[in-house]
Structure 1
Amino acid sequence: MSKGSTTRQRILKICFDLIYKQGYQATSIDEIIKQTTLTKGAFYYHFKTKEIMGLALLQEFIGPALEKRVFHSLRHTTNFRLSIYKSIAELLEDTAFFDSRYGCPLVNLIEEMAPLNPKFSKVMADFYDNWHREIALSIQNNLNHCTTDPERSNQIATFIISGYHGIRSIGKLKGAPIYQSYLHELQNYLNTL
């Protein structure tokens, strides 16, 4: 990786940490620059505006993490119930990347930025659509012997993602232990399919 790419990734990591804890709007470029110890010129070399930096954070940092952690396991499974459960459980139980006090970084950005910025909204809607599609396809591909039609698979995917988003928000209030109750019921639900 080149020095420029390494610097860009370092900036995005610091942006992620600050925005995850404070929110996008509450995080200033000056604060990011101070944390990176770069000059303003060096920051603006990589990101001409805060919006460009925020979109890069979504596309170059959060998106690849979702792809690696969630989508891959859903694509390569013969047991969709276990894959869906494990992907959600890993997201909820990952204390190195996530902190229950701050919820899910993507859910937070959806809540904060979707109504305000069409570019953010588009990128985040694409993430949702991809995750939704992967869950629905996983269900369809593994329930060929059943009467699960595409519409039912889409409804199930919506239900699962909505549950994840909701428990992440409740976790901000109740802490990580609340996740276990959700995971238990998620597993029960998946076993009914």
Structure 2
Amino acid sequence: MELRIEPGDITRVAVDAIVNAANSTLLGGGGVDGAIHRRGGPEILAACRRLREEELPEGLPAGQAVATTAGRLPARWVIHTVGPTYAKTIDKSETLASCYRESLRVAAQLGAGSVAFPAISAGVYGWPMDDAARIAVQTCRAMATEVGPDAGPVTSVVFVPFSDAAEESFRAALDAAP
């Protein structure tokens, strides 16, 4: 699995699946979530409402992932995942790693070959960027070596950092990872 960085606007990246750093309601919000819903159009919101009505009446738990149409985005699917809120006194690293693992599993089930990720939890959820990038890169690298049906057809992961500082953090994490 190729891991690369493409700084900029995740809503403009041409991949099979774009990962949305969603909130548990799946009904849109700020940051990446709001941008994906705005640019993707009402089709994404309609699909999220159906998920809430039919499968997720309590919302999507942190660390899990589900897919919808990508609406008007240059992707085929949006994979929604809810990252944990950072806390200095509680280690939620495994939940953050689960966001990446579960998103890649959903992508594999869909048959997606390429997936774009934002820096999950590193915005309003307060996760320190260096640590968020490290967890993202290590988790995706580990999934690349996983054997079995969950490894699936994903051949390319694109990290789409939203700032120069985020890009530096992801580049450092890629350089540091074996």
Q: Same-fold call, TM > 0.5?
A: no
More strand by share: 2
More helix by share: 1
| Bigger Rg, structure 1 or 2 | 1
**TM-score, normalized by length of structure 1?**
0.27
**TM-score, normalized by length of structure 2?**
0.29
